Amino acid sequence: MPSEIRVDSPDQERFLRELLDAGLLIDGGTPGVYGHGAAFERVRAAFAALVTAEARAAGAVSLTFPPIIARDKLETAGYVGNFPHLAGTIFGFDGSETEARTLRERAAAHEDWSELQSQTDLMLLPAGCYPVYPAVAARGPLDPGGVLVDIGAAWVFRHEPSLDPARRQSFRMHELVRIGEAEAVAAWRADWAQRGVRMLRGLGLDAELENASDPFFGRAGRLLAASQSAEDLKWELVVPIAGPEPTACASFNYHLDRFGETWGLRLADGTTAHTACIGFGQERVVAALLRTHGLEPERWPDEIRARLDAALSADPEPAGVTWLDTDATTNAATPAC
């Protein structure tokens, strides 16, 4: 598939080159796929610890998911239909010895062997929250107050090759998912949006909260995006990194009862639960910090370093399964997460 590489600003390409030259990123040989050096990872881990500490204090349950997901779950969730251009599907080989020989020869010559592949029942995980809803639904009705899940750093995939170092095809999204009564869930999203602003500004970033929408596909998608925006269901925390526009480093998404209905998420009284999720783009937050404070974290302002070091040294031991003690409708297009 001759993927179109997104046209980026010279500023973004220059920043990418600087990150590669400094060993913060490692060239993966294709746009949007990078390894990371130790200095990059240390900052990322510190930011993850900062988010997890706040989530744990709020009673979050820790769950961890792999970077792949059963295809039928994304079909059911509507992701495939709404974001076909971003979705990654896993194909595999199920052929004969003769076909394997053909595949081997073509692969060695870097020729096309796609006809020797067939679709498996697996896809790449596009956002960390998708496996959470069916997992929680399988436990039966929620306890009063619902639940808060911290999925930590999930590797997610978006098929959008770009030379902007802040636009990856594979990256880590730190997501928190809240499932419960409508008002409690809406209030939780509003509270975390403010926490997000405080967290990023506390690290010296020029972060602003904005109304936003998901990149739904095509003409029909523009209507869905407009409706999502009008209903105020997606907020993004944008920070200047590189390029003419600030970059979304976190999103705060309210799904109303859409996923509750889809997955049969029930409250203790039998009514449908509401859901919200928030996600911090870990690589984007680190890129914003590097752009703002310079490429050498050991020379960042003392206050910023102290805040990150403190988070990292506060051993973020995963919390046990804890259910929240708090209190308790419409329908929209399925959001990206």
Among residues 271 and 322, whose Cβ is nearest to a second copy? 322
Instruction: Give me the least distance between CB of 263 and a second copy, in Å please.
Output: 12
Strands 170-180 and 147-157: antiparallel
How far is C-alpha 287 from the geometric centre of its chain's CA atoms? 15
| Interactions with a second copy, residue window 40-79 (CB under 8 A) | 40-42, 45, 61-70, 72-73, 75, 78
Instruction: Give me the least distance between CB of 72 and a second copy, in Å please.
Output: 6
Among residues 207 and 304, whose Cβ is nearest to a second copy? 304
Instruction: Give me the least distance between CB of 200 and a second copy, in Å please.
Output: 23
Q: Which residues of 74-87 are buried (b: 16+ CB within 10 A; e: fewer)?
A: bebbebbebbeebb
Print the binding letters for residues 2-21 with a second copy: x by CB under 8 A, - otherwise: xx------------------
Could you say whether residue 331 binds a second copy (CB under 8 A)? no
Both tokens of 203, joined, read 């690290």
**Bridge partners (DSSP) listed for residue 250:** 237, 280
Sheet holding 247-254, edge to edge: 147-157, 170-180, 274-281, 247-254, 234-239, 208-211
| Interactions with a second copy, residue window 133-162 (CB under 8 A) | 134-135, 138, 155, 157, 159
Among residues 107 and 230, whose Cβ is nearest to a second copy? 107
| Interactions with a second copy, residue window 162-221 (CB under 8 A) | 168-171, 217-220
Size of the site for a second copy (CB under 8 A): 91
Q: How far apart are CA 108 and CA 98, in angstroms?
A: 16
Burial tier of 142 (Cβ tally within 10 Å: 0-12, 13-18, 19+): buried
Tell me if 241 sits within 8 A of 93, measured CB to CB: no
Tell me if 274 sits within 8 A of 260, measured CB to CB: yes
Instruction: Give me the least distance between CB of 206 and a second copy, in Å please.
Output: 27
Among residues 93 and 194, whose Cβ is nearest to a second copy? 93
Instruction: Give me the least distance between CB of 186 and a second copy, in Å please.
Output: 27
| Interactions with a second copy, residue window 237-266 (CB under 8 A) | none
Could you say whether residue 274 binds a second copy (CB under 8 A)? no
Both tokens of 20, joined, read 């590669």
How far is C-alpha 170 from the geometric centre of its chain's CA atoms? 10
- The single residue among 57, 140, 320, 325 that binds a second copy, judged by CB under 8 A, is 320
Could you say whether residue 120 binds a second copy (CB under 8 A)? yes
Classify residue 208 by its DSSP letter.
E
